[in-house]
Structure 1
Amino acid sequence: MTHQTLYDAVGGEAFFTDLVREFYDRIWADEVVRPMYPQDDRAGAEERFRRFLEQYWGGPTTYSEQRGHPRLRMRHAAFPIDPDARDRWLACMHGALDALDPAPLHRAELDDYFERAATAMLNRNPLFR
């Protein structure tokens, strides 16, 4: 019995290309999180994020081959990620997932990962300034 990855189950590269495009359309409209993204390299940022997600969900390992270990917390440490920024990021991702409407079981798995990952990136607490 072979195990089907989520990458294959949702449609592979096409799904993740669409997801990242939908996500970045929302990011670019948000005044809080947009400044955290490379303003002059949206295409590059989209490609890196897509490759990361593809690899995470069982697709090609191109991300690590090109960029090494993801080191997400280290790569995001320079950005002020407080609960508001996390919530806005998640709203952008939830909107992108809403637009693509993956099967409920796949949606639940994606939502769970994005919730945990976004929370793990928190590095500012507005209560302790």
Structure 2
Amino acid sequence: MSDKAADKPTAYERLGGEAAVRALVDRFYDLMDLEPGYARLRAVHPTTLDGSRDKLHWFLCGWLGGPNHYIERFGHPRLRARHLPFSIGIVERDQWLACMHQAMHEMGVDETLADRLAESFFNTADWMRNR
């Protein structure tokens, strides 16, 4: 890796590190729990969201270029395989993306970074569809 690439901050660093990732995830799940527009997405999740909050936080830390908390706990994410038991269609995908977009906006994520993340989130969320 070149020195120039090594000096470039990761998305994790640009967001503000672990506390910022946790705040983003918490806002995401708060919105999912409160906003009627995310009802179909909420229905795919367990009654309590504590485990989901932790897993997304751990996953995003590593995915964004920070510590690999998720992999240390569970091994390779195998996202599609882990999501197969849940019915995920276009509506759930789009609600997930809209909820994350709203959370990023409310948390004041830099617009350029938010746009870059939104594109990556779309590709991943679309891959999770199983119906």
After TM superposition, is the score higher than 0.5?
Answer: yes
Instruction: Tell me the equivalent position of 1:127.
Output: none
In the TM superposition, what is the alpha-carbon distance from 1:64 to its structure 2 partner? 0.2
Q: Which of 10, 15, 24 does residue 5 from structure 1 map onto?
A: 10
**Percent identity between the aligned chains?**
37
The question of whether the paired residues in 2 share the 8 Å contact of 1:81 and 1:121 is answered with: yes
CA RMSD of aligned residues (A): 1.2
* Aligned: 1:110 with 2:114: no
Amino acid at match of 2:30: D
Q: How big is each residue's C-alpha offset from its partner over 1:15-36, in whole Å with a ceiling of 9 and x where there is no partner?
A: 1111101110122233211121
**Structure 1 residue runs without a partner (length 5+):** 125-129
Q: Which amino acid aligns with 2:63?
A: Y
Of Structure 1 and Structure 2, the greater helix share is in 2
User: Structure 1 residue 93: deviation in Å?
Assistant: 0.8
Secondary structure of 1:31's counterpart equals: helix
TM-score by length of 1: 0.88
Matches within 5 A, 1:117-128: 117-124=124-131
| Count of aligned pairs between the two proteins | 123
Structure 2: 5+ residue stretches without partners: none
Residue 34 of structure 1 corresponds to: 42
Q: What's the secondary structure of 2:46's corresponding residue? A: coil
Structure 1 runs of 4+ off > 2 angstroms? Answer: none
**Which residue of the partner structure matches residue 70 of structure 2?**
63
Moved more, 62-71 or 103-112: 103-112
* CA deviation map 1:52-109 (0-9, x unaligned): 0010011111110101100110111111111111111111111101101211221121
User: Which residue of structure 2 lines up, in the alignment, with residue 95 of structure 1?
Assistant: 102
User: Partners of 1:44 and 1:7 in 2: how far apart?
Assistant: 21
